[in-house]
Amino acid sequence: MAKVSIVGAGFMGKTHGSAYKELEGSEVVAVVDNVAEKGKKLAEELGANYYPDLDQCLKEEDTDCVDLCVPTNFNLELTTKAAEAGKHVLCEKPISLSLEDADRMIEVVKKNNIKGMIGHVLRFWPEYVKSKELVDSGKLGEPLFGFAERLAVIPDWYEGDWGLDEAYSGGVPLNLAIHDMDYLLWLFGRPSTVSAQGVSIPKWGGIVHISANIEFKTGKSALAEGGWAFGGDFPFTMVLRVICEKGTIDWLFRAGKNIEQRAQKSMVYVYENSGNTYTLDVEQKDPYFLECKYFVDCINNDRPIENATFEDGRAAVELALAAKRSVYEKKIIKL
């Protein structure tokens, strides 16, 4: 039974908390948040102890792992504390805001021989997973081009509005479009160049919309588009399209203002060049549940983390930072 301490009782802390509640083989023993009211409320809901900081939690609580759901700029400090105390770490994406921090996090995980995983949830999202399985099966021939899009309203839930400060969240490239960049790296492998255009509104977090053209070492290419400069009730939108030699995978998903309607079904279509059209048989399971389950299963069975590793997190940050540079410097960046 993996004893979990959730650090950060905001949007993601609550989402992960609900996942662990449903998950056999795990128990949330502690919730840590420097805003006592929020931390105590989630702790009560999960039947866990509340702590105002991770130091006290690590000193007093019998815990196997920590699940970091805090503003990105705290990831290095809190991962280091947890790893040095011998606790496994699931850390929300992005791993960091700089490659230096990502390298230090990878180092500290290795040195302390703990398991480290990054919350790159698309690697556990059933429709994205099924689409990758189809591509990998070779049934549609080689993947030639990918398009992955993520659009949302301006985040309004962040505690203290940290998400709207580029210095804390990295803006859309590191905070939002990184999901799609990570998925495209998972699908196509190492990138060679990125050329991106974007819109920057400093008071809304820096780059608020980005369109990043990625070339991969294989010679294939993809476009990652993401933005949060939408108002009103604009629905959270995800699109995935993979054009392959023998057909195209196509998925459009709209999930309510803040992904609250993510359980609703939206078919993944496959359009084969032969004329055959069909939908993929996708199991309806909450992606955050599946992500937390993978982490907990690795701990309970002492298996290494092989998907959404800290190294995967670093690769996504490297691409997102390069895309950002490309927007600001108006040039193609080599990776």
Task: Please report, for residues 13, 21, 55, 64, the alpha-carbon distance to residue 29 in angstroms, rounded to integers and kept in the order given.
Answer: 13, 11, 15, 10
Kindly give the pairing relationship between strand 88-91 and strand 206-216. Answer: unpaired
The answer to the question of residue 121 lying near ligand NAD (CB under 6 A) is yes
**Furthest CA-CA distance within the chain:** 63
The length of the chain is 335
How far apart are the C-alpha atoms of 140 and 304, rounded to whole Å?
31
Beta carbons of 236 and 254 less than 8 angstroms apart: yes
Q: Is the dihedral of CA 285, 288, 291, 297 positive or negative?
A: negative
The answer to the question of residue 13 lying near ligand NAD (CB under 6 A) is yes
Comparing CB distances to ligand NAD, the nearer of 79 and 195 is 79
> Site map for ligand NAD, 133-162, x if CB under 6 A?
------------------------xxx---
Measured from the Cβ of residue 230, the count of other Cβ atoms closer than 10 Å reads 17
# chain residues binding ligand NAD, by CB under 6 A: 25
The answer to the question of residue 16 lying near ligand NAD (CB under 6 A) is no
Find the part of the chain contacting ligand NAD (CB under 6 A) among 2-10, 144-152, 191-199, 262-270. Answer: 2-10
DSSP class of 280: -
Two structure tokens written together for 157 = 């839930």
How far apart are the C-alpha atoms of 335 and 333, rounded to whole Å?
6
Comparing CB distances to ligand NAD, the nearer of 55 and 142 is 55
Residues in region 72-101 near ligand NAD by CB under 6 A: 72, 74, 92-93
The answer to the question of residue 247 lying near ligand NAD (CB under 6 A) is no
> Site map for ligand NAD, 52-71, x if CB under 6 A?
-----------------xxx
Find the part of the chain contacting ligand NAD (CB under 6 A) among 27-35, 207-215, 274-282, 317-325. Answer: 27-35
Contact residues for ligand NAD (CB under 6 A)? 7-13, 32-35, 38, 69-72, 74, 92-93, 119, 121, 157-159, 175
